[in-house]
């Protein structure tokens, strides 16, 4: 009689899956994946670095915002867990923008007024809508409010399994992607050639060069630190509740482990009499 | 096992109430006195886990519906609003999206457990079929819900799945237009999907009621697959035994749930769904959520569109016929070595189909998908009928009590 060996079957299936995974990895070797960087908000309990987010906002405001919208309210820039500018700074910042009022005035005219903290950051003035931006670049620059969560790439087996495990988890792909793209202009003769962009031809010409933004806190004025700071800032913009989420999560975990332990002890006690 | 309740309330008010509406007696007989086989393992806690997940999904869903605005121009922004501006909106939404995944994970464990231990066999055929209906409703609800955030993958998914009906000869296109409320997936579609997504969970809850009712008529199956013969020797009362075990299992499940919600909330979500739906831009790689991937692989494995749709629905519907495909009188795979082997082959086939469903289609992939699809249906249509008669099973224990005692180590002198 044939012996049905479940363990051998499981081993064979695992080997098959592993082979499939590595075959896939070889196939895509020509298109490098964004390298995994170290982030203050990475890992299990990482949090945003307020100073880095403020620098990142500066980069966004002086460079990215010329083409990219960032549809978040001004007030969120003052919230805890974010760049946390002071109330006055947020007010002054909002007032420096001209915002189109939602309702027309009493003459029926649409009008512009200085922004308030409750307003959404307006679109870049040069491109009143996506069509205008697409006409200039061939493709509309995406709104950056969710950009850091909207970019992932195939990790392949078995890495996608590890990405879910405590201590190994990988939730910063968006930041790595943004950092890789901004630093990926490696052909000086072609400003639209990007090492990490799928197919290498990117609509966005090299957006930033060394020294383009004046940092005041002594951080090196290099493309590498600009890209790290703006990637961190955009990660916050996409996931503004990360600090709070992890803090609550830690409490929830401690509570649940204690609860499960107590319940297990109770269950054991109850079942003792049944056997 | 069932019949008129012998429950007599202690208080006079309770007795007055009970003689007019015996709801306390129902609760008492269903969740307190109900006899539970004493040999159940932790695989039998998934019923309670699923009940918890259904309630969690309904509660978080009702809260999300208070802030969600279903239309093509507002849906995506209203999710952003929930995530950014609503107090603990991010928590509700992450609970709901990751809850769907854990609901399916628990459901798959529950279904595979039923297959492994023969829980579909007489007298539990109807109980099983009601379960298959619940699973089908869950898949429909999940699909409808996935469209609501109105991201790029929502739009692509809605387009792919609703286009399946166009495979129906003559009337297919007309039905598709009727489903869409227009000539393509658009604002009217998201509005009606929201309505249905809110409706279906309550229909699921009604079927869960039937599922529990049917369960409490036949009693639970158990790892040894022998029916209860002596209630005193073979069973323990539901409370405190099963209640405590279920609550403990739910607390462990909550740890997994909390890990997903608080630490890797976007692990299972498709990044493309954080881009707003745009009819002119289709994602490079359209994939459903992980829990529907095996069926997607089966759909794509069939070259003919209509036959692909038929195979897709058949792959779920075939579960309803399992009680008549597997007629081996021995229920539990514990005593069926050949069935046990093929069961695990089947599990591997399902996992591999899921992996293929997530990959770009190619010639090699399609070939493997076809072989696995044949394997998927072969398990039900060939292996199950053959093993019904041809398998040499091991001797089953005379009773549940015997099975429990056999496992117990003899105390050392």
Residues of B in contact with A171 (CB under 8 A): 263-267
Q: Cα(B214)–Cα(B124) distance, rounded to whole angstroms?
A: 8
Residues of B in contact with A198 (CB under 8 A): 284
pLDDT > 80? residue A1: no
pLDDT > 90? residue A163: yes
Residue B2: pLDDT band by 50, 70, 90 thresholds?
A: very low
The reported pLDDT for the residue numbered A132 is 86
The reported pLDDT for the residue numbered B284 is 85
- Please indicate if the annotation marks B110 as binding a ligand: yes
Mean pLDDT of A3-10: 56
Mean pLDDT of A60-81: 95
Q: Name the B residues in 99-158 with CB < 8 Å from any A CB.
A: none
B248 → closest Cβ in A72, A249, A263:
A263
Question: CB within 8 A of A201, min separation 6: which ones?
Answer: A192, A193, A194
The reported pLDDT for the residue numbered A5 is 58
Q: How is residue A3 written in tokens?
A: 């012996």
According to DSSP, residue A38 is labeled P
Residue in A195, A222, A215, A194 with CA at minimum distance from that of residue A206: A194
More confident residue, A139 or A87: A87
The reported pLDDT for the residue numbered B57 is 98
Residue A6: pLDDT band by 50, 70, 90 thresholds?
A: low
A260 → closest Cβ in B236, B255, B264:
B255
- Please indicate if the annotation marks B177 as binding a ligand: no
B267 → closest Cβ in A6, A171, A264:
A171
The reported pLDDT for the residue numbered A27 is 46
Mean pLDDT across chain A: 89
Secondary structure of A161-173 in HEC code, one letter for each residue: HHCCCCCCCCCCH
Task: Write out pLDDT tens, residues A134-155.
Answer: 888 888 899 999 999 999 998 9
Residue B409: pLDDT band by 50, 70, 90 thresholds?
A: low
- State how far residue B380 is from chain A, nearest Cα, in angstroms: 19
> Cα–Cα distances in Å, from B119 out to A159, B43, B131, B225?
36, 12, 11, 8
Residue whose structure tokens are 């005692």? B405
The reported pLDDT for the residue numbered A125 is 86
**Phi, psi torsion values for A248, nearest 5 degrees:** -65, -40
Residue B399: pLDDT band by 50, 70, 90 thresholds?
A: very high
**Searching chain A, which residue's CA lies closest to the CA of residue B262?**
A249
Q: Looking at the domain that runs over B41-286, which CATH code has it been given?
A: 1.20.810.10
Displacement of CA B258 from its chain's centroid (Å): 20
Sort B222 into a burial class: Cβ within 10 Å, 0-12 / 13-18 / 19+: buried
Mean pLDDT of A32-55: 96
pLDDT > 90? residue B116: yes
Count interface pairs A-B at CB distance under 8 A.
Answer: 120
A17 → closest Cβ in B91, B338, B355:
B355
Mean pLDDT of B280-300: 93
The reported pLDDT for the residue numbered B404 is 87
Task: Write out pLDDT tens, residues B125-161.
Answer: 999 999 999 999 999 999 999 999 999 999 999 999 9
Q: Please indicate whether, in this complex, the C-beta atoms of A76 and B263 are within 8 angstroms of each other.
A: no
pLDDT > 60? residue B288: yes
Residue B410: pLDDT band by 50, 70, 90 thresholds?
A: low
Percent of chain B topping pLDDT 90: 91
Partners of A201 in the β-ladder: A193
Task: Write out pLDDT tens, residues B161-214.
Answer: 999 999 999 999 999 999 999 999 999 999 999 999 999 999 999 999 999 999
The reported pLDDT for the residue numbered A11 is 60
- State how far residue B63 is from chain A, nearest Cα, in angstroms: 18
> Cα–Cα distances in Å, from B97 out to A242, B20, B78, B257?
17, 43, 15, 11
Residues A19-52 as b/e (b if ≥16 CB within 10 A, e otherwise) read: ebbeeeeeeeeeeebbeeeebbbbbbebebbbeb
Q: Please indicate whether, in this complex, the C-beta atoms of A241 and B90 are within 8 angstroms of each other.
A: yes
Q: Cα(B347)–Cα(B108) distance, rounded to whole angstroms?
A: 10
Domains and CATH numbers, chain A: 32-70+142-250 (1.10.760.10)
Task: Write out pLDDT tens, residues B319-356.
Answer: 999 999 999 999 999 999 999 999 999 999 999 999 99
The reported pLDDT for the residue numbered A253 is 98
**Searching chain A, which residue's CA lies closest to the CA of residue B92?**
A245
pLDDT > 60? residue B260: yes
Return the domain boundaries, chain B. Answer: 1-33, 41-286, 293-395
Q: Please indicate whether, in this complex, the C-beta atoms of A245 and B265 are within 8 angstroms of each other.
A: yes
């Amino acid at each position: 009689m044939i012996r049905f060996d479940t363990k051998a079957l499981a081993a064979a299936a695992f080997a098959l899956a592993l082979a499939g995974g590595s075959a896939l990895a070889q196939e895509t070797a020509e298109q490098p994946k964004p390298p995994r960087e170290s982030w203050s908000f990475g890992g299990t309990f990482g949090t945003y670095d307020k100073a880095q987010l403020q620098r990142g906002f500066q980069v966004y405001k002086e460079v990215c915002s010329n083409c990219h919208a960032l549809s978040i309210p001004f007030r969120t820039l003052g919230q805890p867990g974010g760049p946390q500018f002071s109330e006055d700074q947020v007010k002054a910042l909002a007032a420096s923008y001209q915002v189109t009022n939602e309702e027309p005035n009493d003459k029926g005219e649409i009008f512009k007024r200085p922004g308030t903290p409750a307003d959404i950051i307006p679109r870049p003035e040069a491109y009143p809508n996506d069509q205008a931006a697409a006409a200039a670049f061939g493709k509309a620059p995406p709104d950056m409010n969710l950009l850091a969560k909207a970019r992932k790439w195939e990790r392949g087996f078995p890495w996608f399994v590890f990405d879910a495990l405590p201590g190994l988890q990988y939730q910063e792909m968006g930041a790595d992607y943004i950092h890789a793209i901004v630093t990926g202009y490696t052909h000086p003769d072609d400003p639209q050639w990007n090492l990490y962009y799928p197919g290498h031809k990117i609509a966005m010409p090299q957006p930033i060069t060394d020294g383009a933004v004046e940092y005041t806190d002594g951080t090196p004025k290099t493309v590498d630190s600009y890209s790290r700071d703006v990637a961190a800032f955009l990660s916050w913009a996409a996931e503004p509740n990360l600090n709070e989420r992890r803090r609550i999560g830690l409490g929830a975990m401690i509570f649940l482990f204690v609860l499960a332990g107590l319940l297990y002890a109770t269950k054991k006690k109850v079942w003792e009499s049944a056997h | 096992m069932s019949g008129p309740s012998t429950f007599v309330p202690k208080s006079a008010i309770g007795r007055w109430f009970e003689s007019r509406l015996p709801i306390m007696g129902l609760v008492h007989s269903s969740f307190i006195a109900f006899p539970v086989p004493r040999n159940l393992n932790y695989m039998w806690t998934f019923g309670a886990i699923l009940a918890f997940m259904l309630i969690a999904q309904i509660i978080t869903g009702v809260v999300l519906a208070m802030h969600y605005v279903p239309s093509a121009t507002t849906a995506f922004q209203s999710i952003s609003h929930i995530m950014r501006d609503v107090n603990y909106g991010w928590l509700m939404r992450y609970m709901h999206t990751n809850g769907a995944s854990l609901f399916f994970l628990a459901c798959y464990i529950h279904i595979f457990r039923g297959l492994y231990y023969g829980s579909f066999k007489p007298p539990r055929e109807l109980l099983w079929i009601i379960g298959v209906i619940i699973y089908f409703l869950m898949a429909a609800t999940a699909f409808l819900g996935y469209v609501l955030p109105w991201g790029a993958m929502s739009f692509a998914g809605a387009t792919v799945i609703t286009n399946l009906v166009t495979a129906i000869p003559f009337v297919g296109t007309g039905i598709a237009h009727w489903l869409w409320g227009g000539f393509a997936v658009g604002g009217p579609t998201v509005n009606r999907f929201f309505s249905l997504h809110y409706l279906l969970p309550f229909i699921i809850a009604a079927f869960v009621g039937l599922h529990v009712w049917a369960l409490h008529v036949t009693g639970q199956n158990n790892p040894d697959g022998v029916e209860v013969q002596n209630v005193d020797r073979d069973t323990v009362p539901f409370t405190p035994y099963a209640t405590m075990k279920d609550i403990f299992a739910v607390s462990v499940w909550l740890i997994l749930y909390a890990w997903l919600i608080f630490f890797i909330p976007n692990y299972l979500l498709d990044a493309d769904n954080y881009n707003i739906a745009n009819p002119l831009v289709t994602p490079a790689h359209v994939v459903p959520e992980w829990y529907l991937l095996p069926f997607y692989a089966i759909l794509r494995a069939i070259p003919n569109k209509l036959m692909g749709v038929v195979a897709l629905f058949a792959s779920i519907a075939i579960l309803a016929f399992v009680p008549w495909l597997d007629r081996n009188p021995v229920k539990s795979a514990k005593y069926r070595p050949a069935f046990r082997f093929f069961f695990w082959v089947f599990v591997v086939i399902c996992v591999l189909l899921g992996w293929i469903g997530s990959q770009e289609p190619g010639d090699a992939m399609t070939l493997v998908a076809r072989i696995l699809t044949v394997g998927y249906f072969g398990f039900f249509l060939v292996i199950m009928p053959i093993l019904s008669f041809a398998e040499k099973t091991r001797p089953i224990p005379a009773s549940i009590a015997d099975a429990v005692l056999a496992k117990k180590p003899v105390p050392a002198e």
